[in-house]
Structure 1
Amino acid sequence: MLVSILALPLALVAFGVALARRHVVTVGVNEHAEVVRIADRTRGWRLVGLALGLVGGGLLLVLGQRVDALGRLTALAPAAVGAGVLLGTVVGELAARPSAGVRRTAVVETRTVRSVLPRGRATLLALATVALGGVLAAGTAWGSPDDLGRAGRALSERCTLLVDGVATQVAGSRGPWPGSFYALPLAASSGVLALLTVLALRAVVRRPRPDPHGLGLDSVLRRWSAGTVLTAALFAVLGTLGPVASLMVAPLADLDCGTPAQAVGRWVVTVLGPLALVGAAAALGALLVTPRVRVDDLPRPLPGDAAPVGAPRR
């Protein structure tokens, strides 16, 4: 809960940055009406999905402790937000079909997911997913049962150390530790998110083309939608990675019998935790301010009309 509170200022800053860099395409009041209608429909459903995801994630954060005091439900809050956006995208793409009518022209093309993916965001999502998988795998491998026998919820150690020249047996257990007790539900939720991400991207690609005159704008909208899908998945991954990595720092730092691998892991999670939280806040800001198409109601100037600076338009 404390990690979530600390991330709120970062989310506000990210929201301001995303608002300042928001992509907006302006079209005339009578231009690309079909594409504009589809854009409004898909964006509306994505925002509905985001709202539902935020409500679900908030409920898991606030009420999850009452159902499961050990925090397994609370840990699923970022995944709930991402799943809401992905489901909203799927519904929006399926609902935003071109209007029925006679078509005089057609475009022969092969649309693929790769053609609409933002490469930078896809690479970042892949790296974040690998990092989350590595952290969960390390937590599972180093985890041990706690005092009540719950597997993977503690970090135990046992060794012999020389203290003032005397061999001393050292044994102890520290927790909570993100071992299999937490890793298995998180891995299952990550699998569901991966499936929803693939479904959302396929829905974006397979949505039928509108009026051929608006193909350029329609392609831009598809790239925006694909980018939002990746951002939602990225928020879910980073929002999970940040708390999990932060939870591992203190137990690893307190080890007296730590292995070299655990020493390296301590420094890795110390860096990963804050970076993931900042990235998750930035992704949330981007989700709150999605690109849009703006319709300009003012008539376009004709040749010979006065320009805003007083020079005639040619």
Structure 2
Amino acid sequence: MYARWAGLAAGAAAAWAVASRDDGLGIGILYAIPAFGLCAVAGVLLGDALTPPPRGPIRSAGLTPRRVRDYVPRRTTHLLVAQALALIALVVTAAVMASPDDQGRAGRTLSATCQGMTQTVGPWPGLFYGGPVLASLALGTAACAWSLRRIARRPSEEQPRRDRALAITAAWGLLVSTPLLGTTTFAAGSLLGLDCMGASGSAWILVPVALSAASTMAWSLTTIVAPRAGRR
């Protein structure tokens, strides 16, 4: 539990340090999001790695192999997978739509031409911002998947095994939902800044995604801090 708290504290400190160094390009807050998520995941993984193996008499076990999906919360995991796919789709779509800014930095703004006039808004979550998000998601997903496989195969009582798998799932949920919330918020803000017809409608489509991400982020934090409260 101390490792989880340390991971959250380190994440908050890292996010503050990154956000405070914003140079006006919007990098600070957007890069702070994956920094926080990675530190939180690292704390949970460290806590699991430091968990001592069970002591006592050797018990017999069935021949059926244990699978990761038997220990993670099924409905929540399905929701997190859907949110991860939504995050990837949103970043890729934003990258395709993105335009260079006035300094030639690719993927930082969104441009649209309406009635013969071109309007540019930003920051826009193209690869200039979305690249670190996708990199942190890939890194954290690989680490969490490895840890879940380790939990499933390592000798342990069933309930502690489920509790640890739940904590790993919550850590991954934080890594998914936090950047999804940030990306949808920034994308919606940029779309609302456009005067073109239909842009605001596209922005409102992102609102349910942002609300879902906020709900998942709250559950993930609750589960990491107070595992019993986060069970469902």
- Taking structure 2 as the reference length, the TM-score comes to 0.85
Supply the distance in 2 between the matched residues of 1:273 and 1:115 (Cα, whole angstroms): 29
The runs of at least 4 consecutive aligned structure 1 residues that moved more than 6 Å come to none
The secondary structure found in structure 1 opposite 2:107 is coil
Counterpart of 1:225? 164
CA change 1:289–1:183 in 2 (3 A) is same
How far the C-alpha of 1:84 sits from its partner, in A, is 2.3
Say yes or no: does 1:255 pair with 2:194.
yes
- After TM superposition, give the deviation of residue 288 of structure 1 in Å: 0.8
The SS at the match of 1:234 is helix
Structure 1 residue 152, shift from structure 2 partner:
0.8
The amino acid of 1:282's aligned partner reads W
Alpha-carbon distance change, 197 to 61 in structure 1, aligned in 2, over 3 angstroms: same
Between the two proteins, the alignment pairs up a number of residues equal to 224
Aligned residues of 1:145 and 1:153 also touching (Cα < 8 A):
yes
1:141 lines up with 2:82 in the alignment:
no
Q: Deviations over 1:34-66 (max 9, x none)?
A: xxxxxxxxxxxxx23322221222122221134
- Alignment gaps of 5+ in structure 2: none
Cα distance in 2 for partners of 1:206, 1:282 equals 26
Structure 2 counterparts to residues 148-187 of structure 1, below 5 A = 148-159=103-114, 161=115, 169-187=116-134
* 1:201 and 2:148 are equivalent in the alignment: yes
Residue 65 of structure 1, aligned match among 3, 10, 19: 19
Q: Give the % identical residues.
A: 26
Over 3 Å counting, the alpha-carbon distance change for 1:65 and 1:235 in structure 2 is closer
Alpha-carbon shift at residue 89 of structure 1 (Å): 4.4
Larger proportion of strand: 1
CA contact (8 A) 2:110 2:190 kept: yes
Contact conserved, 1:89 with 1:229, CA < 8 A, in 2? no
Aligned counterparts of 1:265 and 1:49: Cα–Cα separation in 2: 41
* 1:73-152 correspondence runs (5 A): 73-92=31-50, 95-99=51-55, 103=58, 106-109=60-63, 110-152=65-107
Q: How far apart in 2 are the matches of 1:130 and 1:139?
A: 14
Structure whose residues are more often helix by fraction: 2
- Using the size of structure 1 for normalisation, the TM-score is 0.65
Q: 1:252 to 1:73 in 2, by over 3 A?
A: closer
2:107 and 2:126 in contact (8 A); partners too: yes
What whole-Å deviation, never above 9, does each CA across 1:141-168 have from its counterpart, x for those lacking one?
Answer: 1111111221111011124x2xxxxxxx
Deviation track 1:216-271 (CA, whole Å, cap 9, x = no partner) reads xx21221221122111111221111111111111221232346x6x5664222122
Residue 10 of structure 2 aligns with an amino acid whose one-letter code is: G
Map Cα deviations across residues 90-148 of structure 1 (whole Å, 9 max, x no partner). Answer: 413xx42233x774x53243222122222112111111111211221221111111112
Which of 221, 224, 228 is the equivalent residue of 1:291? 228
After TM superposition, give the deviation of residue 198 of structure 1 in Å: 0.7
Q: 1:48 touches 1:88 (CA, 8 Å); kept in 2?
A: no
Secondary structure of 1:291's match?
Answer: helix
Instruction: Answer with 1 or 2: which has the greater Rg.
Output: 1
8 Å CA contact 2:48–2:164 kept in 1: the answer is no
- SS where residue 69 of structure 2 aligns? helix
Tell whether the 8 Å contact from 1:246 to 1:273 is kept in structure 2 after alignment.
Answer: yes
SS in 1 for 2:227: coil
